Chains A and B, each alone.
Chain A
Amino acid sequence: MNALRYLLRRAVSTIPMLVLVGLITFLLIHITPGDPASVVAGENASEEAIEDARRRLGLDQPFLVQFWTWLLRVLHGDLGVSFTSGKPVTELIFDRMPITLSLTAGATLIGLLIAVPLGVFAATKRGSWLDRLTIFSTSLGIAAPEFFIGLLLVLLIALQLGWLPATGYVPFAEDPVEWLLRLTLPSITLGLGVAAELARQVRGAMIDVLSRDYIQTARAKGLSTLSIIVKHGLKNAAIPVVTVLGLQVRRLLGGTVIVEQIFAMNGVGSLAVRAVFLRDLPVLLGVALTTAVIVLLVNLIVDISYGYFDPKVRA
């Protein structure tokens, strides 16, 4: 019962943030410097073209009316209609979500698979060459632009060695093996950046936890080293790590914008980029809102996980 109440409480506290995020998305048109109407109309547009654009954007209406209509539409899941294709924005985004989500999930997985063992080893064998190598390579990993790493990977593994395909995406339903193969390089590209940041967190958190008194108690109880590290250590180190993981997901969603371009994947990121060139504002705003909502949901999940890792939080 306690757990359920905690869950509900966290869920409810997300609602004000959702509202704010929606409000900011709406306000973006108004507070960005410049005139969106002339941007939409294009460079050498006439007065009428600009006015026409203004009407299409709904900017000719009084402010509150704009907000109200927009709010109602969004609550019904209607994010407007694309200026270019005429299709509903929601449909466009949802069509491409699986790609972006596969990429994000893949990168997170790879990040975890690399970072957790590495961080744990570095923490337990402090001062060793592995520890120093970890610190050094994570500095590099954090500094290097991930798309550069992606380019290098494409160059090396796809073009030179020909081990993995360099571009494209195949839906899981169609061909699971191809889906996996094509996702590998892009996931590694993004995943390395995640791994770098995460490995530092894991190492730091584990070093802190392993110096605690209850670890000495665990040793005095004769528990195996594995049990001490994994069972007693990791669970307590989890909270800072999971927090950073949540932040990394936010960064990943941004990173997909570039990686999708490099690997020619038709995800939400490339949808947004194309929308800039096509001056398709509804699509842009729709993407912004959707990704922000995803981030908020991820934060909620992270929040709820605290209750599992730290019993004191549930009280």
Chain B
Amino acid sequence: MSATTVEAAPAVSLPPVSTFFQRFCKNRTALVAAIILLIIVLIAIFAPYIAPHDPARSSLRNILKPPGAMYWFGSDDLGRDVASRLMFASRLSLVASLQAVAIALVIGMPLGLISGYVGGWVDTVISRCNDALMSFPALILAVVIVGLMGPSLTNAMTAIGLVYAPRIMRVVRGSTLSVREEVYVRAARATGCSDARIITRHVLPNVTGPLVVQATVLMGQALLAEAGLSFLGLGTQPPEASWGAMLGTAFPYMAQSPVPTIAAGVVISVTVLCFNLIGDGIRDSVGRMRRSGD
């Protein structure tokens, strides 16, 4: 197995990072979404410095105040500043989503690689189990898993990670399968290249593209799922609050003070939209490279 044979293989992998960025930036929608997301992340990181009030401080004299100079989005049922709480809640929500996606990747990727690369009955068994797992409605499965583990944010994110692992598995398996049949891979195997080497040199680069797209979109989905679970009280437990939990606590008081509810909902929607658009942008940037025959 000479080095030249491997080096000569055409790179159907991720395009060079600089070209990728160039193409991505040409897509205006995706670029705007990325900037907005960046702003949200920065707010989350610097929340302690930019939040106008202490998010945990309640003031019984200022319950459910409408938005104004003092409380930008009004105050909640315990007199806490909604705007500050939203900023701090962003840390929980974003990190939680990251956690969930990480778990999904850790479980889904190896399974997808094995299933796609080894093939045969291993693939059949793993795929069938995967399909069966995907027959459970996502939210119901998450609720059941949380029910088995006890309600808490960590458990909720683990549950969501487990529920989404099959999707990652499918994407990885798909890419692995398509690469496995490429001529240069078969040539590499024929010349005695070790499986591990083939996987790292050829399969992984090919998988990264679709995987990154799927992971980005999944961040948005995980955010929605966490919001849902926290809204039901199955995720974040008080006194901590994520966006979903804030939505859940603001909801009973919606008639008197609608702004906190709307604010939380809009923030969630915008963030998810950004993830979706960025995912689309990545997909277009990577896809276009393949088509031009790089």
Question: Hey, which bits of chain A sit against chain B, CB under 8 A?
Answer: 16-17, 20-21, 23-24, 28-29, 32-34, 36, 39, 139-140, 142-145, 147-148, 151-152, 154-155, 159, 250-255, 257-258, 261-262, 269, 272-273, 275-277, 279, 281, 284-285, 287-288, 291-292, 295-296, 299
Contact = CB atoms under 8 A, between A and B. Distances in A.
Give the interface centre of B135, B224, B265 by most chain A CB atoms within 10 Å: B135
A143 B261 contact: no
18 contacts: A17-B131, A20-B128, A28-B145, A29-B148, A32-B149, A33-B149, A144-B269, A145-B227, A145-B268, A145-B272, A151-B251, A151-B265, A254-B140, A277-B233, A287-B144, A288-B140, A295-B135, A299-B135
A143 B231 contact: no
A139 B137 contact: no
Given A28-B144, A295-B135, A296-B135, 15 more contacts: A17-B131, A34-B148, A39-B148, A147-B247, A253-B137, A253-B140, A254-B138, A257-B228, A269-B140, A272-B144, A275-B147, A281-B147, A284-B144, A291-B136, A292-B137
Contacts of B151: 276-277
A143 B273 contact: yes
Nearest to A39: B150
Contacts, number: 147
Interface string B235-264: 000000000000100010011001001100
Contacts of A159: 254-255
B206 interface: no
B137 A262 contact: no
A145 B224 contact: yes
Contacts of A21: 132, 135-136
Given A16-B128, A277-B151, A143 B232 contact: no
Contacts of A139: 273, 276-277
A197 to B, nearest CB: 12
Contact of A155 (B227, B254, B269): B254
B143 A143 contact: no
Given A21-B132, A143-B220, A254-B139, A276 B228 contact: no
Contacts of A291: 136-137, 140
Contacts of B254: 151, 154-155, 159
A74 B169 CA distance: 30
Nearest to B139: A254
Contact of A147 (B128, B143, B220, B228): B228
Contacts of B272: 143-145
Q: Which 7 A-B pairs have the closest CB atoms?
A: A254-B139, A254-B137, A148-B265, A20-B132, A143-B273, A276-B147, A253-B137
Nearest to B29: A139
Nearest to A278: B147
A148 B150 CA distance: 25
Contacts of B135: 17, 21, 250, 292, 295-296, 299
A20 B127 CA distance: 11
Contacts of A17: 128, 131-132, 135
A32 B228 CA distance: 21
B251 A288 contact: no
B148 A28 contact: yes
A145 B140 contact: no
Interface in B203-223: 220
A193 to B, nearest CB: 10
Given A147-B228, A276-B151, A276-B234, A152 B136 contact: no
B129 interface: yes
